[in-house]
Structure 1
Amino acid sequence: MKRFAAALLGMCLSGLVAAHSFQLGSIHIGHPWSRAMPETSATGSVYLSLENQGKEADKLVSASTPRAETAELHTHVNDNGVMRMRKVDSVELAPGKTVKFAPGSYHVMLMGLKQPLKAGDHFPLTLKFEKAGSVKVDVVVQDGGAAAEHSH
């Protein structure tokens, strides 16, 4: 019975981790996560969703974390049939719209990781918006399989 209760508690807690979100004014930040990376990797990415629930446009203008030397806003662009990653100065958040940061799209690029991204780890990420201000969110590091299944 104790094993069953422990397993049930673990399933409930893992569901909470998979569905964490944050709110800053009219900006809803959905499930910030990163994929576990090999110990030798100096880079990683953070994915999340940003929903502007307000009536005015806003912009995500920067990100920072103590986990890496640099955090930049990036996207992928098709350059004559070749997908290339590009740094962007900001990400527009139109009123009533959601922007998804996902593999192959927008992401927060972490460069100069100070320690490996291991499944189960958490780390803080500060997001700065042009109008809404700044908010610190908790990024969950997921293994490759769990990250691939996540649809946020």
Structure 2
Amino acid sequence: MAANILSQYSGFQHDPNAPILEEFQRLAALRGWKAGSKRYKTTLRTCLQAESRELFRSDGRLDALQQLCRDVGVHPTPETITSCRKALQNVNVNIIDLIDSRRCGSAVETFRTRVALRNYSKMQGKIYPKQWAKSDDAIRNLLIRMW
């Protein structure tokens, strides 16, 4: 989990309940990594991937999709994989914010339109790598075209 990755750095006191980007930025500042550098980008992606794998892993695909539906406010919770995927197609949520909602125990913000989500994600610099989202059976249902 990302806590293990972030905690491996000596002198860094990781808070597993804080937003992942804030924690990473604290680590980067401590280590002197410049935003945009290869080291910064590589370590950030590793942390995001590890955190999402830990938070969204599940024993079964239906279980993961149902939990994701609950996380983003789909009620009632769909009963089948197909109905979960169909319900998630209408949800506009930032994946990094979704990670933080599980880390912090808070509700995740949803957006009325994909354009609003796209603009928010770009302005906040909260863009989850597409290749990782595609490889996760639950998370891939939240992908939108960013560019």
TM-score range, shorter chain: under 0.3
- Structure 1 or 2: larger helix share? 2
- Structure number with the bigger relative contact order (C-alpha 8 A, sep ≥ 6) is 1
